[in-house]
Amino acid sequence: MSKKAFYSLLAVLVITATALSACGPAPTPTEAPAPAATQAPAATQAPAATAAPAFPVGIVLPTKNEPRWIQDETRFNDAAKAAGYNVQILFSDGDSAKEKANVESLISQGIKVLIICPQDATAAAAAVDEAHAAGIKVISYDRLVLDSSSVDFYVTFDSVSVGKAQGQYLVDHATGTGNPLYLYAGAATDNNAFLFFQGAWSVLQPKIADGTFVIKNSSQAVGLQSNATLTRDQEGQIIGQVTTNWDFNTAKSLAEANLTAATAADKGNVFILAPNDGTARSIADTFAADKDVKSYVITGQDAEEASVQYIIDGKQSMTVLKDVRTLVKDAFAAAVDFLNGKTPTQTTTYNNGKIDVPANPSPIVSVDKSNVKAAIIDSGYWPAADFKNLP
């Protein structure tokens, strides 16, 4: 066959194949077209023959202002690449209106599963209701969407255990009585802030009641200190007074205001419940700068690289490792189950104000200087080269 005849035949075959596939049956969920990737420009994408298989899943994360969520983006991209998935990750920039627009954009692109970490638990209800009405399965990721019956599954860590680990660390490092205790919490718009506080309170309250700790920065907490458990409203009253809003600057200003209001006798060797790593670094720096603070023990969570370095340097006492690789794996596994018409494995439920949302929470690890190398470096979570003076 001449070269010309060969290319004519090839052209006919390609056109026929294209026409046949266009007439084929409607795509099943797993065959639906994947949304366009945001990561790579079209020119660098693989040719059609080796393109990633369709994976009609969209991901919405709350903000790029915190290393935690950039980490989730990176880990999602790593896992997607390894599995050959093509996923789209959109950020809400801390704005519920942007979050809703992101969800609507994903709906219009034909996703079948939405993985969403809400910026504001209640405000996100409208967005996920809209997705659900369009036949999309909704997976709440790390933070629970509240007041919506449209949440099909919740992928999360055991957040009450996070708070317990933080409280326990403070208890384990306190001796005697009268130790000054400063409480800080996350954002009241985040259901996790309540779960973390609930866990911490369950461990700290008996040690407040027996005089080991004396609360120094919350009149609401002092008023409720004989309550072994708190109602959601009571937690809300305390959180309203000690919220960092998950914001480093708010955390810093609040710590400064607390230290200004405190006497030298309220300082000395202090114990600080800080809700996460970003706020812990701000609060720790603020306390370290106060001449009347002789020493401090401070908690955190997320095992952010900056906080791992703070722990190595003795500037932050502990963090809670919530292995985001596990969370991403769980989220993809749940999405694949839904795409295949299956139900993800559940071990418990979380009530979101409307329904009991099925979940299978992952365990957490308490990390301080004594196990930082094993938990963070040897586990492959962060590379040794990123740190100085590892123990």
Chain positions contacting ligand BGC, by CB under 6 A: 66, 68, 142-143, 186, 190, 192, 246, 276, 301-302
DSSP state of 365: E
Judged by beta carbon, residue 192 or residue 212, the one nearer ligand BGC is 192
- Per DSSP, what are the bridge partners of residue 185? 243
Tell the smallest beta-carbon distance from residue 380 to ligand BGC (Å).
20
Judged by beta carbon, residue 148 or residue 212, the one nearer ligand BGC is 148
Tell the smallest beta-carbon distance from residue 301 to ligand BGC (Å).
6
Backbone angles phi, psi at 132, to 5 degrees: -65, -40
Judged by beta carbon, residue 262 or residue 320, the one nearer ligand BGC is 320
Q: Which of 365, 366, 369 is nearest to 391 (CA)?
A: 369
What does DSSP say about strands 365-368 and 318-321: parallel, antiparallel, or unpaired? antiparallel
Tell the smallest beta-carbon distance from residue 387 to ligand BGC (Å).
20
Tell the smallest beta-carbon distance from residue 119 to ligand BGC (Å).
10
Judged by beta carbon, residue 179 or residue 319, the one nearer ligand BGC is 319
* Distance of alpha carbon 385 from alpha carbon 124, whole angstroms: 39
Contacts of 34 (CB under 8 A, 6+ apart): 52, 53, 54, 55, 56, 85, 86, 87
Q: Is 313 within 8 Å of 391 (Cβ atoms)?
A: no
DSSP state of 373: I
Judged by beta carbon, residue 290 or residue 368, the one nearer ligand BGC is 368
Q: Is 229 within 8 Å of 194 (Cβ atoms)?
A: no
What is the Cα Rg of the chain in Å?
A: 25
* Distance of alpha carbon 187 from alpha carbon 245, whole angstroms: 4
Judged by beta carbon, residue 200 or residue 339, the one nearer ligand BGC is 200
Tell the smallest beta-carbon distance from residue 321 to ligand BGC (Å).
11
Q: Where are the alpha helices (DSSP H) in the chain?
A: 3-23, 67-83, 96-108, 124-133, 159-172, 191-209, 219-223, 232-242, 248-261, 277-288, 305-312, 324-339, 372
* Distance of alpha carbon 115 from alpha carbon 92, whole angstroms: 13
Tell the smallest beta-carbon distance from residue 138 to ligand BGC (Å).
17
Judged by beta carbon, residue 158 or residue 302, the one nearer ligand BGC is 302
Tell the smallest beta-carbon distance from residue 365 to ligand BGC (Å).
14
